[in-house]
Amino acid sequence: MAETRARPLSPHLGIWRWGPAMTVSILHRITGGALTVAGLAVLTWWLLALSDGSDAYADFAKLAAHPLGLVVLVGLTWAFFQHLLSGLRHLVMDTGENLEIQRNKGSAVLTIVAALLLTAALWAYILGVGR
> Per-residue pLDDT tens for 46-83?
999 999 999 999 999 999 999 999 999 999 999 999 99
Q: Which numeric CATH code is attached to 20-127? A: 1.20.1300.10
Cβ contacts of residue 40 below 8 Å, gap of 6+? none
In the chain, the amino acid numbered 116 is L
| pTM for this entry | 0.86
> Per-residue pLDDT tens for 95-105?
999 999 999 99
> Per-residue pLDDT tens for 27-38?
999 999 999 999
